[in-house]
Structure formats: C-alpha cells, structure tokens
C-alpha cells in the first residue's frame, strides 16, 4: 500500500510499504483491488450515471420529503431512473445493464421526464459508476474476505447497496472479533466461511425475490406499469 503519513498536499505520492495483518476485509467497492488479488472473478454490472444539480430553492422544497423513481423504455430498458434529494441539491440519473453504450440517451430521457421540477438547475458534478448485478463467484480466500460492493452485495430491482455494505461489513467484523476472542487467537478461513453462510442465510431470500421481480417487471412498459401499481 502507499503510506501517506509523512506527506501532505495534493502532489503527494506516498511511499510503498507493507503491513502484516491477521485478516483482510475487502470493502473497497465494485472495482475492488482485494477481489483481483484473490482472483474472485467478475460479475455482470449495471452502469449508473447521474448529474448532481443545484435547483432553485422553491423547486428543492418539492423534494424535501420526496424521492422519485421513473420506469419506462425512454429512461432505461432494464432498470429505473431517479431524482433523489441530496441535502441542498438533487441527483438526477439512470442505469442500465444491457445498453451501457447509450446511457447518455436514457439520461436525456429522465431529464425530459423531470423537466418541470429541475428546470433552471445548475450541474454541480457528473458521476458514473458500476452497480454489481450478483455475487462474485468467489468471496473468500484464506483469511481474505469481501464485503459490500466488492462482494457484489447489491439488490436487483432497487439497486440498493449501501445498506448491505454496512450490514455485511458489520457482520464480518463481529465474526472476526468473536472468533478471535477479541484478538487473542488467530481466526481461520472456516470462521470467515461461517460469516458468509450467516449473511447468505439472512439476506439470500431478499436477493432472490428482488431478482425475480426485476426479471418479471422490468421487461416492457405494461409490466412496469403493473409493478408501479403494486
């Protein structure tokens, strides 16, 4: 890793260093370096694209207690688009798995749909990032284990990942503390496998149901309308 401890400023490059540890928890996101190091394999992913916009104060009031999700071929062929409030601005975006090359077209679609509510908005920042569509083929190797987006813990249908990142990280840390008796003993791969088993038992059904819902309802506009009515 790069040790930045003795440097400051934006131009710092860090010093190559090593650290000996008992366990590595890969919580480093969808493009996880830990996942690559343990040969965890790839997964299918959606591209999420969004623009953070500063909209007029009177329009921001509309989103004070509201978040919007949009479905339809004009905003995404297989996912949904959104306008989410972010403190003093909104995030306007969309996502897709099967038509990543044309995500900008779907972004124009959501901007058109929400036009009256974001009119006059100033773009503060443009963001794009991958959203895992399923678990990685391998989440554990020795005493290195993946959690959160690094492991692929994002639900279909909703694209929710923050909650499961926090829960998987906490559950993994609690297992390490318990199995090592607060650091007195070395843990094993079996201890970390037990953590994965417990996580899958608790949240596996959620992933399964939301996967089925996405396959059923995100196929065409009539199906999406049925989903909205639910």
* Predicted local confidence at residue 219, as pLDDT: 83
pLDDT band at 6 (very low <50, low <70, confident <90, very high): low
Residue 105 exposed, middle or buried by CB count within 10 Å (0-12, 13-18, 19+): middle
Model pLDDT for residues 162-171, shown as the tens digit of each residue: 999 999 999 9
User: Which pTM does this prediction carry?
Assistant: 0.83
pLDDT of residue 9: 66
Q: Rounded to an integer, what distance in angstroms lies between the CA atom of residue 4 and that of residue 14? A: 5
Q: Tell me the per-residue pLDDT of 192-220, one tens digit each, with 9 for 90 and over.
A: 999 999 999 999 999 999 989 888 888 88
The C-alpha atoms of residue 173 and residue 183 are separated, in whole angstroms, by 12
Q: pLDDT per residue over 75-96, tens digit each?
A: 999 889 999 999 999 999 999 9
**Helix, strand or coil for residue 62?**
helix
Give dist(CA 175, CA 183) in Å, integer. 11
């Amino acid at each position: 890793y790069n040790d930045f401890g003795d440097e400051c400023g934006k131009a710092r490059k860090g010093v190559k260093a090593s650290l000996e540890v008992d366990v590595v928890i890969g919580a480093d996101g969808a493009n996880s370096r830990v996942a690559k190091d343990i040969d965890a394999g790839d997964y299918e992913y959606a591209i999420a694209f969004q623009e953070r916009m500063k909209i007029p104060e009177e329009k921001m009031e509309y989103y004070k207690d509201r978040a919007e999700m949009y479905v339809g071929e004009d905003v995404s062929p297989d996912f949904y688009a959104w306008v989410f409030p972010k403190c003093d601005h909104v995030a306007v975006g969309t996502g897709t798995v099967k038509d990543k090359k044309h995500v900008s077209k779907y972004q124009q679609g959501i901007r058109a749909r929400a036009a009256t509510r974001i009119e006059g908005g100033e773009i503060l920042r443009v963001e794009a990032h991958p959203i895992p569509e399923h678990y990685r083929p391998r989440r554990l190797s020795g005493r290195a284990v993946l959690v959160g987006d690094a492991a692929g813990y994002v639900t279909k249908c909703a694209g929710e990942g923050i909650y499961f990142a926090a829960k998987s990280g906490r559950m993994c840390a609690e297992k390490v503390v318990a199995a090592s008796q607060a650091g007195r003993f070395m843990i094993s791969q079996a201890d970390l496998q037990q953590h994965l088993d417990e996580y899958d038992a608790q949240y596996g059904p959620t992933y399964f149901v939301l996967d089925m819902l996405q396959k059923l309802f995100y196929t065409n506009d009539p199906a999406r309308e049925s989903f909205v009515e639910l």
